[in-house]
């Protein structure tokens, strides 16, 4: 509830998510190949041990020194989601249809996330019409929150292929042809580094709302 001009709310969730499949299609390939259905549980891909948020809202009344002003800040955090550590394979050249696990199903944990959002607004009353000028800043700290990783490294920008013999041979071929191995490595890294593997960067939205 609001005390004076301020209101603070917070919540925290501690959870475990385990089962024989993370979605309805998990066992499709097993059934298609005539394999044995899993009889043990593993962490789900959406298993996230800790999540929480803190919301602080401040509002002034019509008779305050700064009338009809509002500020809201939302802090959110979460521990990493799950993935299955696997042997390195190329995400560029293809050839291997699926990952080859080197550890338990969904035993890897992605990096934790933290995000701060801010909203400021000021209302003006003109001829009985409420004009609300607002500014919304998403991801105030411009944090690089990871949303997807490569199963070999647990990182969003390294698939591990260049550490393999095949990857080293590819770099050597570039050098043998007169190119620079470092340039080849940079080119490969730029190819596998996708913005979709990170959360939304900082965004600033400014607008005007009219209430008649």
Whether the Cβ atoms of residue 47 and residue 68 lie closer than 8 Å to each other: no
Does 134 map to a domain? yes
Task: Return the DSSP state at 68.
Answer: T
Write out the residue range of the structural domain in which residue 197 sits. Answer: 6-157+193-211
Does 186 map to a domain? no
The C-alpha atoms of residue 38 and residue 20 are separated, in whole angstroms, by: 6
What does each C-alpha distance from 118 to 63, 77, 93, 193 come to in angstroms? 24, 15, 42, 29
State mean pLDDT over 56-78.
95
Token digits for 29? 């390939």
Say how many domains are in the chain: 1
Please say whether the dihedral angle defined by the alpha carbons of residues 61, 66, 69 and 70, taken in this order, is positive or negative. Answer: negative
Confidence of residue 11 (pLDDT cuts 50, 70, 90): very high
Does 51 map to a domain? yes
Does 13 map to a domain? yes
The C-alpha atoms of residue 137 and residue 118 are separated, in whole angstroms, by: 5
**169-186, pLDDT tens digit by residue?**
988 888 766 767 778 888
For the beta carbon of residue 212, count every other beta carbon within 10 angstroms.
5
- Predicted local distance difference test score (pLDDT) of residue 97: 66
**129-150, pLDDT tens digit by residue?**
999 999 999 999 999 999 999 9
CA angle, 20 then 21 then 27, to 5°: 100
Whether the Cβ atoms of residue 141 and residue 116 lie closer than 8 Å to each other: yes
Does 176 map to a domain? no
Does 10 map to a domain? yes
- Predicted local distance difference test score (pLDDT) of residue 103: 94
């Amino acid at each position: 509830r609001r005390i004076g001009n301020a209101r603070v709310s917070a919540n925290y969730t501690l959870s475990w998510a385990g089962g024989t499949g993370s979605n309805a299609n998990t066992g499709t390939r097993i059934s298609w190949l005539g394999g044995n259905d899993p009889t043990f549980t593993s962490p789900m891909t959406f298993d996230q041990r800790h999540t929480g948020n803190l919301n602080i809202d401040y509002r002034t009344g019509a008779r305050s020194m700064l009338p009809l002003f509002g500020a809201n800040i939302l802090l959110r955090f979460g521990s990493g989601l799950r993935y299955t550590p696997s042997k390195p394979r190329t995400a560029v050249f293809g050839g291997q249809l699926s990952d080859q696990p080197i550890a338990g199903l969904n035993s890897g944990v992605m990096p934790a996330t933290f995000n701060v959002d801010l909203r400021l607004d000021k209302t003006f009353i003109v001829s009985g019409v409420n004009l609300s000028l607002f500014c919304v800043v998403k991801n105030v700290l411009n944090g690089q929150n990871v949303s997807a990783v490569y199963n070999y490294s647990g990182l969003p920008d390294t698939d591990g292929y260049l550490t393999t013999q095949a990857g080293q041979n590819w770099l050597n071929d570039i050098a043998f042809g007169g190119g620079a191995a470092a340039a080849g490595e940079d080119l490969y890294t730029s190819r596998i580094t996708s913005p979709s593997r990170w959360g939304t960067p900082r965004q600033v939205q400014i607008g005007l709302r009219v209430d008649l």
